[in-house]
């Protein structure tokens, strides 16, 4: 199965976006005549694997290398660096070039920034005295389709940059990417944003429309009807919860990277233990069917499918079948490799989910979400620290505990902070500082409003039906993601109906009707009509939902579920700075440790 996802069933023509990005890259290669060495920033390498086949790059006389501190080993006289504008990467490039110069090697050097050049990076080249021998360009790669309804801006550090470092360059990047989309699909008429970064994106989007206007008259009816921008900061509870959909669990346990998981061959039933990559996207029809189901249900579905084929096989062997029945059976056999693949993966996941510690973890999560038994939750986290469980696992529950309680009382906060440093080492002080700065682990300064929010938005749902769900709470077996409840309200009746709850959540919220010279807050726009969102000709409307700071697979599953509900009338495309889970998010805040 192809690593590059099939986009034929996308609600808008995402394939054209991908083709344009491919074309832009191939043009860069063609403009550098002859044989060249393409040195790729490793992070971009993963993204490019979902964009273009490496054989196409080789056909354009490019041999591939990954950028590192080590000198580039190549016979080519032309070297093309494809990199994000990051200072450490500029230093790698400079040292590579200086090494060549010290050896008397003469080459032509090209640096293409993804998606745009920055003054800071060019300054590094000047300081390192290599600027004069470089040809500098840009590769405007802003959006990567991960699947037929998911787009990524590939901004791994957006959350940390926005909420810890105070660097809002990713906000500009997102606005620019949306504006580029509008040149393909028309001006989005309705924009709703919640959070500091989200409202800033809406603001920049307005400015870009003034500077580089999309001609609405030429575009006809916009293909995307509504844009919802949501800061990750608005709902940090959901990513800290352990995902219980099949796809979410695969990400939690095996970590989905660039649309695939890497596992030992033995997991997939092979004799040798070599690592193999298993692609995971909508091209796999069975995966598309089961990815968003609660994990417990997936095991039953796979068992039924395997049993059905077994029974058909027994029938074919024991009786003489008509040609048409044999043909039907042969069609079923095509799905056997897919079934085997997911049976193997599900069996591997089960080795984790059957452990008592897994269920204990889910129980304590539920207790924290319901704001029950503070002491029991505190002691559970304390015990994790004393057992020296992986620090990121401790922090994940600690952050959930802190957010739902609006911080911890000073005595508890100081105690847990001290215990973490004693157990894991004082080199983790920067991590605790980052968590505090982002408001994820802090001292309690006011009474918690979590239960008020949870009750008003029906976030905790008892007796959730996971096999035949009728609500998004099936995703976490009883917890409905706050972020998706907000989107539900934004689509159905607007945020005005939950105005008081919106004020309890971080950051401002705005509602923008495009074409106006500015946008106003919902306070200043009391008459909100959700029917303004409906497209004129009765087609299903399309909403682009963008998460600034990352989205989980569980939240995407919840949006797909909403879209499938009777009377919804909306399809969703999800845009995100990066696919995340609680662990990968917290790891970005732990990166500065020595």
Q: Is the dihedral of CA 480, 486, 491, 494 positive or negative?
A: positive
Position 338 pLDDT exceeds 60: yes
Exposed, middle or buried: residue 108 (CB in 10 Å: 0-12, 13-18, 19+)?
A: middle
Position 405 pLDDT exceeds 90: yes
Residue 174: name the closest of 519, 575, 450, 453 by CA.
575
Q: Pairing mode, if any, of strands 509-513 and 190-194?
A: antiparallel
Q: What percent of the chain has pLDDT over 90?
A: 79
CA 130 – CA 439 distance, rounded (Å)? 42
Integer-rounded Cα radius of gyration of the chain = 26
All structural domains of the chain, each given as residue ranges with its CATH number in brackets, are: 14-141 (3.40.50.2060), 146-237+471-586 (3.40.50.1910), 246-353 (3.90.830.10)
pLDDT tens string 226-243: 999 999 999 999 999 999
CA 10 – CA 14 distance, rounded (Å)? 7
Output the pLDDT for position 536. Answer: 47
Query: Which tokens go with 95?
Result: 């040292």
Output the pLDDT for position 138. Answer: 96
The larger pLDDT score, comparing residue 299 to residue 594, is at 299
CA 485 – CA 490 distance, rounded (Å)? 9
Average pLDDT over residues 97-113: 95
Q: Is the peptide bond before 115 cis (omega within 30 degrees of 0)?
A: yes
Residue 277: name the closest of 579, 1, 576, 561 by CA.
1
φ, ψ of residue 567 to 5 degrees: the values are: 85, -5
Give the SS3 label for residue 251.
helix
pLDDT tens string 461-506: 998 888 899 999 999 999 999 999 999 999 988 999 999 999 999 9
| Helix pair 356-369, 374-386: axis angle to 10 deg | 140
Output the pLDDT for position 337. Answer: 80
CA 48 – CA 271 distance, rounded (Å)? 31
Strand partners, 37: 63, 79
* Reported confidence tier of residue 271, pLDDT bands at 50, 70, 90: confident
Output the pLDDT for position 334. Answer: 56
pLDDT tens string 452-467: 999 999 999 998 888 8
Q: How many CB atoms lie within 10 A of CB 25?
A: 23
* Reported confidence tier of residue 568, pLDDT bands at 50, 70, 90: confident
pLDDT tens string 342-378: 999 999 999 999 999 999 999 999 999 999 999 999 9
Mean pLDDT taken over the chain = 90
Residue 65: name the closest of 52, 81, 77 by CA.
81
> Residue 114 in contact with residue 82, Cβ under 8 Å?
yes
CA 581 – CA 554 distance, rounded (Å)? 9
The larger pLDDT score, comparing residue 42 to residue 534, is at 42
* Reported confidence tier of residue 521, pLDDT bands at 50, 70, 90: very low
Residue 509: name the closest of 489, 481, 533 by CA.
489
CA 408 – CA 403 distance, rounded (Å)? 9
* Reported confidence tier of residue 327, pLDDT bands at 50, 70, 90: low
């Amino acid at each position: 199965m192809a690593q590059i996802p099939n986009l034929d069933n996308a609600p808008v023509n995402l394939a054209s976006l991908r083709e344009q990005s491919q074309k832009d890259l191939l043009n860069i290669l063609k403009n550098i005549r002859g044989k060249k060495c393409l040195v790729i920033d490793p992070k971009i390498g993963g993204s490019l694997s979902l964009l273009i086949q490496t054989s196409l790059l080789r056909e354009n006389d490019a041999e591939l290398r990954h950028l590192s501190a080590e000198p580039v080993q190549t016979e080519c006289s032309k070297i093309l660096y494809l990199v994000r504008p990051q200072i450490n990467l500029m230093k790698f490039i400079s040292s590579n070039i200086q090494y060549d110069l010290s050896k008397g090697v003469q080459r032509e050097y090209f640096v293409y920034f993804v998606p745009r050049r920055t003054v800071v990076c060019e300054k590094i080249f000047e300081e390192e005295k290599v600027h004069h021998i470089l040809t500098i360009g840009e590769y405007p790669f802003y959006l990567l389709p991960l699947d037929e309804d998911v787009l990524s801006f590939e901004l791994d550090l957006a959350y940390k940059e926005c909420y810890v470092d105070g660097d809002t360059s990713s906000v500009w990047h997102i606005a620019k990417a949306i504006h580029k989309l509008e040149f393909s699909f028309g001006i989005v008429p309705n924009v709703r944003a919640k959070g500091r970064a989200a409202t800033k994106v809406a603001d920049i989007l307005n400015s870009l429309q003034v500077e580089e206007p999309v001609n609405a008259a030429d575009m006809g009816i916009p293909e995307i009807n509504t844009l919802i921008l949501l800061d990750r900061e608005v709902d940090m509870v959901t990513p800290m919860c352990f995902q219980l959909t099949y796809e979410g669990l695969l990400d939690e346990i095996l970590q989905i990277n660039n649309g695939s998981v890497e596992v030992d061959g033995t997991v997939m039933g092979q004799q040798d233990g070599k690592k193999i990559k298993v692609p995971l996207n909508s091209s796999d029809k069975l995966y598309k069917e089961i990815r968003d189901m609660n994990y417990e249900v997936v095991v039953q579905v796979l068992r039924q499918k395997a049993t059905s084929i077994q029974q058909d096989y027994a029938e074919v062997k024991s009786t003489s079948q008509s040609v048409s029945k044999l043909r039907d059976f042969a069609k079923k056999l095509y799905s056997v490799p897919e079934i085997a693949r997911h049976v193997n993966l599900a069996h591997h996941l089960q080795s984790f989910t059957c452990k008592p510690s897994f269920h204990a973890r889910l129980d304590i999560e539920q207790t924290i979400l319901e704001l029950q038994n503070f002491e029991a939750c505190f002691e559970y986290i304390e015990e994790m620290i004393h057992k020296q469980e992986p620090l990121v696992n401790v922090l994940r529950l600690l952050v959930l505990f802190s957010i739902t309680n609006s911080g911890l009382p000073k005595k508890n906060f100081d105690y847990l902070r001290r215990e973490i440093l004693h157990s894991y080492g004082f080199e983790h002080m920067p991590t605790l500082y980052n968590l505090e700065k982002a408001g994820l682990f802090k001292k309690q300064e006011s009474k918690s409003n979590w239960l008020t929010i949870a009750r008003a938005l029906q976030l905790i749902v008892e007796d959730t039906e996971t096999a035949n769900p009728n609500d998004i709470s099936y995703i976490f077996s009883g917890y409905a993601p706050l972020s998706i409840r907000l989107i539900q309200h934004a689509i159905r009746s607007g945020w005005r109906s939950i105005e008081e709850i919106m004020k309890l959540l971080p950051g401002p919220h705005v509602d923008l009707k495009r074409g106006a010279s500015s946008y106003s807050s919902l306070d200043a726009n009391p008459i909100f009509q959700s029917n303004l969102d409906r497209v004129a000709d009765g087609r299903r409307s399309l909403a682009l939902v963008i998460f600034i700071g990352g989205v989980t697979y569980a939240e995407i599953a919840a949006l797909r579920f909403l879209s499938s509900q009777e009377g919804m009338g909306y399809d969703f495309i999800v845009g995100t700075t990066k696919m995340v889970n609680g662990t990968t998010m917290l790891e970005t805040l732990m990166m500065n440790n020595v």
